[in-house]
Homo-oligomer: A and B are copies of this chain.
Amino acid sequence: MAETLAEPATRTGDECFLSDMARIGDLPNSVKRDLQVICRRRLFSCGETVAEAGEPSEFVGIVREGILRMQKSLPDGREHVVGLLIEGDMFGLVFGGPLHFAIEAATDAEIYIFGRAAFEKIVMSSMELDRLLLLNLMNELDRARDWMVILSLPKIRARLSGFLIVMCARFQKIDHLITISRRAIRVRIPISRPDLAHLLGTRVESISRALHALADDGLIEILQPDLVEIRDLAALSEETGELDLGDPASLQRLVRALRTAQG
């Protein structure tokens, strides 16, 4: 299935593309070469299914561009978003059983795909790649726990605030999602309202109301439906009850960057 549109990723002038990906650049050259050989590039357009749930996951993927959403499909037809995958994220169980959720493109996306068997072979030959997988998993686990903390906040306002903060902390490196203007941080919300509602465990209407409530109180400004400017990061953080979401250090880095831009 995945092979139909796949094309070899070893194009001229792009031989070291893997080095761009988060953390993969640190691998020994021999491993990178091996990965390069089995790597295929695929494009998905928004809404397309990348991997079905319940299948043994015939490939491992790395997101090159765009956003994927992981979702559990409920028997009644509704779907529940349990996480987002962004640039540099890996997915697909490497040695495990079937996937417990589906993966779909939340935006147009570009993905690097590795056949599972071949990938596992390389993993077994490289301690470094093995370690990378382990770290990647720990990272994902941390993120899942962050979502848990956010989801268990009682009010939608607080959950939405948590979401925005996580976006800031984690998606900093994605330049077209977070931009630091002279006066504030601008966050582009990369998923639709229904998806966001599912992710935060609520309905579209509540999301809308909470967002505008935050705007009315001056914590944020809604420039476009999917583009908000954070006016008061500290207050936003207070909304969540001051939890330290994601990597506190990366938030501080953001605050520093903001001060530099202002001063």
A75 CA to B140 CA in the complex, in Å? 24
Known: A95-B134, A145-B101. A80 touches B198 (CB 8 A): no
Q: How many copies does the complex hold?
A: 2
Are the C-beta atoms of B72 and A243 separated by less than 8 Å?
yes
A243 to B200, alpha carbons, bound, how many Å? 17
The answer to whether A112 has its CB under 8 Å from any CB of chain B is no
**A154–B82 touching, CB < 8 Å:** no
The answer to whether A151 and B201 have CB atoms under 8 Å apart is yes
Q: List 12 A-B contacts (CB under 8 A).
A: A74-B242, A75-B243, A76-B241, A76-B242, A80-B152, A94-B134, A96-B138, A130-B130, A134-B137, A151-B151, A151-B201, A154-B202
Contact mask A168-210 → B, CB, 8 Å, 1/0? 0000000000000000000000000000001111110000000
The 8 closest A-B pairs by CB, nearest first: A152-B201, A144-B144, A151-B151, A137-B137, A75-B242, A82-B145, A96-B138, A82-B148
Q: How far is the CB of A50 from chain B (nearest CB, A)?
A: 17
- A-side residues, CB < 8 A to B, are 70, 72, 74-76, 78, 80, 82-83, 93-96, 100-101, 124, 127, 130-131, 133-135, 137-138, 140-142, 144-145, 147-149, 151-154, 198-203, 241-244
Among A78, A80, A140, A152, the one with the most B-chain Cβ atoms within 10 Å of its Cβ is A152
* Least CB separation from A144: chain B residue: B144
